[in-house]
Structures are given as structure tokens and as C-alpha cells.
Amino acid sequence: MARRRARTRGQLVTAGRSLVAERGVSGLRVQEITERAGVALGSFYNHFGSKDDLVATIAAETMAELVASAVHGPDDPDTADPGTAREDPAVTAARVVRRVVRLPLVDPGFARLLVHLNHADTPVNGSMAPYARRLLVHGIAAGRFRSPDPESTVTHVVGGAVAMMRRTLAGERGEDDAVTGLDPEALHVAVMLQTLGLDLDDALGVAAGAQRED
């Protein structure tokens, strides 16, 4: 019974995710989701309190997959936790944030969903903040990051990433830097690393490394 319940929930998430990818969040209807999932309309509310609840779940699960693949590579998502990675926390942070701010280029539908979530003042930044917080605390403990207040730093870094995504989605992506060869997303990563306390040259070097990994 628990397995059937989990399967239904999974079908709803998958159906919701494909509908969101096709045409965004604003026109999404619960009935469409249950039809595509092949489940009864009423059963939706056994799993989710509202449509927004499902959308938040989609965002959180997709972000979790993205962070997992950025932290340890796509092969061992189960162990993905930024707080357990052995590499330089700045390198991890650069890779994660680079993937996030590249979303408008590789998956504009999902990027729009994240930006929309941020709009709606639903658990603000709820889908990104937990990962950012773990990475930050790990990097501070490792002596690599410095922050006057982790909560403020997380707010700033996530808010900056969302603003960068919005700028790209609005068609206002900048150009590669002529001197360093860094693309706009790598330049954003370098700024983010400054926020975490790295000096500019260090930040540029780590951001360039993340760009080379693509």
C-alpha cells in the first residue's frame, strides 16, 4: 500500500514536471496533472495540499538532483551532500552555482519555474537555500569561506543567482569577458565567490576552473 502510494505520488510529480516544462506554471491545472498521471482527480489531495505544493516539490526534487550531480558526479546521487565533499568548498560552490545560473540556457522551463517560485513568496528560495546553507557552513568550518552571518550570506547568494537567472531569461545575457575569456555565468560565479570571502584573483581562478568543466 505504501509502495502504491509512493508510485502515485511519483506519477503526479512526473506529470506536473512535464506540464511545467511544456508551458510553465501559470496555466497549470490540477485536473490536467491528474489526467496526465492517469490517477483520479481527488487523489491529488491525498499527496499535495495544493498545486503550489506540487510545484514546490518539483522544484526541490529537481534542484536536489542538480546539486547531487554537481557535488559528486551523476553516478552516486545518494551520497550527495555538499557538507561531505572532500574537494575545495570554493570549487564545489562554483560548480553548483554555475549549474544553477546556466539553467536558463540548458533548461529554460525549469529556470522559469524557479524564478516564478521566488515571485510567489512561497517558502522564499526554499528550493535552493538548504543546499547553499550546508555548503557555506562546510566552507566556513574548512576555513575557506568567511561570513558575518550565514543566513544573510545565503539570502544574498541565492538572491543573486535568482537575479542572474531572471536577467538571462529576459534576454539580457552579457558577453564573454575579452581579457579572461570567462562567460557571463563564470563572471557571476566569481562575484559569488567574492561574497563568500575569496579575493578577486582567487575567485576568478576558481570560476575559470568551473567553466572548463562544462
| Lookup: cell for 82 | 555538499
27 SS3 class: coil
Q: Which of 162, 206, 210, 211 contacts a copy of itself by CB under 8 A?
A: 162
DSSP string, 145-203: ---S-HHHHHHHHHHHHHHHHHHHHTT------TTT---HHHHHHHHHHHHTT--HHHH
Region from 6-14, 31-39, 45-53, 203-211 binding a copy of itself, contact rule CB under 8 A: 203-211
Spatial separation of the C-alpha atoms in residues 100 and 166, rounded to whole Å = 12
Which residue, 78 or 121, has its beta carbon nearer to a copy of itself? 121
| Lookup: cell for 195 | 561574497
Q: How far is the CB of 180 from a copy of itself (least distance, A)?
A: 7
Which residue, 68 or 204, has its beta carbon nearer to a copy of itself? 204
Q: How far is the CB of 156 from a copy of itself (least distance, A)?
A: 4
Region from 14-22, 36-44, 67-75, 159-167 binding a copy of itself, contact rule CB under 8 A: 159-167
Q: Which of 21, 30, 124, 137 contacts a copy of itself by CB under 8 A?
A: 124
Q: Which of 33, 182, 206, 210 contacts a copy of itself by CB under 8 A?
A: 182
Which residue, 11 or 127, has its beta carbon nearer to a copy of itself? 127
Spatial separation of the C-alpha atoms in residues 172 and 143, rounded to whole Å = 36
Contact of 57 with 13, CB cutoff 8 Å: yes
112 SS3 class: helix
Q: How far is the CB of 26 from a copy of itself (least distance, A)?
A: 12
Of 164, 63, 159, nearest in space to 105 by CA: 164
Burial of 103 (0-12, 13-18, 19+ CB in 10 A): buried
Which residue, 197 or 209, has its beta carbon nearer to a copy of itself? 197
Say how many residues touch a copy of itself, by CB under 8 A: 45
List residues binding a copy of itself (CB under 8 A): 119, 121, 124-125, 146-149, 151-153, 155-164, 166-167, 169-170, 172, 174, 177, 180, 182, 184, 187-188, 190-192, 194-197, 199-200, 203-204, 207
